[in-house]
Chain A
Amino acid sequence: MADKPKAAKGLTPAKPPPWNNPAVRSLVFQALALALLGYFFYVVLQNTMSNMESRGITTGFQFLHEPAGFGILMSLIDYSETDTYGRTFFVGLLNTLLVSSLGIIFATILGFTLGIARLSRNWLISKLAVVYIEIFRNIPLLLQIFFWYIAVLQTLPGAKHSLKIGEAFFLNNRGFYFPAPVFKDGFGLVVAAFAAAVVGVVYLVKWARRRQEETGRQFPVFPVSLGIIIGAAAAAFWVEGMPISWNYPTLKRFSFEGGGRIIPELMALLWALTMYTAAFIAEVVRSGILSVSHGQTEAARALGLRGGPTLRLIIIPQALRVIIPPLTSQYLNLTKNSSLATAIGYPDLVSVFMGTTLNQTGQAVEVVAMTMAVYLTISLTISTGMNWYNKKMALKER
């Protein structure tokens, strides 16, 4: 109000000075930001180069071909001390993927159970679920991992006094021992029969859906498919003369031999990840189910649908739309949290590669970059997939 509008004299407004022109300003800001960023990276690069030179570290990825010379507690692929640093990367990566995928499966089962229990009309069950969720959600995961590893698993009795279920499963401070399956020659046929049955079921489902759309007649897809899959596998199993045997763990002088073993580090990590993430998944599931308004149930009833189909066709698809995005981010969190393995010595990617390998080689930049790249790839892959799913599932509005 105080300053006079300059445009009043002519019909076209006077051109604003360049520092008041939004387009010019935004260009200047961006150029400035870019220059600052470039300068920042330049300085960092310079410093890193000179620091590495003065410490006698050569840059590059040649170290990946050198022998590692340290043992790893657990490996899914063949590994010995003479293998290269490059191989330690894959050992760690596979261990990370193992614990994350198992954790995702168990946490999903437990989380959905808890989420539904939380909404149960049964007072006791719903209150127990609340107590569980509020306790495990509000205690740091690292603390829970330490608790299970140090306060529970390490205080278990030694091999001689193992806790046991029958003569097959043993739990002691060295881990959990279970009978390992030994597959004989004919087992390939069982797998083949199973695979063939699955393929057959896929076609059956397609046929049943088409028939229902054309004629309206329904086909009991689920029991029939289950019967086909189990029947085919069981038949092949029987024809081949039961080509499987079990290798039981047996107590030798100080420890168990034979059978399969889960190391306590893996147990503690998996247990803690499952319990922690399940509490979050339970809340996700609860909010998803609550987000479907009661009118939907009533509408389904009005259409004549019974309880089961209402849940399957009306409630769950709508609840899933709300559940899936936060559920995916919980899965991502679980995968990233599995890196806490390093605190108890489970040989995951961070513990093996960013821990031991980094300390031995001193190649901090390369090792940290590789490790971060792995996690970034996992995250970006999952979030891209999630965005695609989200688009597909989003409400189609005007």
Chain B
Amino acid sequence: MNRPAVEATDLVKDFGDKRAVDGISLAVPAGSIFGLLGPNGAGKTTALRVLLGIIDPSSGTRRVLGHDQPLEAAHEVGYLPEERGLYPNMTAREAIAFMGALRGLPLREGRRRADDLLAGHGLGDWARKPIRTLSKGMAQTVQLLGTIVHRPRLIVLDEPFSGLDAINQAKLEELIRSEARDGVTVIFSTHVIAHAERLCERIAIISGGKIAFEGAVDEARDRLRPIVRLRTRSDDGPWRSAIPDNARHERGEWVFELPPGGPEPLLKALLDGDAGIETLAIERPGLHDAFVAIAGDAAAAAMGQQQEPS
């Protein structure tokens, strides 16, 4: 197995009396797309900043691309911070080339790649325009291109979908997939679970500064039993004993977790009990449901308030 691109062990970060990151341990496999999920204030950004060496941890260790000091790997890392920032008077191509130069890419090569990247993302005509004349979405794209211009082995994106319209969100998702296909490790944080569900192979759910779960997306889903949605002609009868006591009746159908025996005993009991089955669906739980279960109701409530349409 490849060495993880990023490893953290018992990372703690305190700001005064407030503990923003509370003993985080994780391992991000090289070449994977890794999602860091959690509501705002959960500690995602602080965790990423500690991992990248922008700030030092109060305790614990981290290792990025084999380096104990993350800045030593800076040439192989691309980082898009949550708060986007570019010099407003710089042209788009110069901004991208400058970000590449910060990561060790020669300026001339950076300019050449910037022209290619801008043209490839429909911004060729804006290459020599100052950033201040670009729309917010364009500027965000320019910063993203600056993040990848030096062809890093690890890309870290903090809330990359924030502020993008649906079309640009789809483009960004495709860009992330494309980078991962080329063997690049991508870590992104989000509070929008749908993006993580579509993109990630592995996730970490962070809540209150702690990792509540780390593993494959399927593994998170498998923590929950499948959900049964049942619509019957009969309102009552012997079949009712086949469904759990905590089943909910929502919009004319019963919703409950699949009993431990599996679908066959349930189906038999419903048929034998004259339920008059109209529809029966067994659904695998979504990541959202898994998040609710793993991070707890409080985190889910916070997530629900901040959920953005995707």
A binds B: no
B residues with a Cβ closer than 8 A to A are none
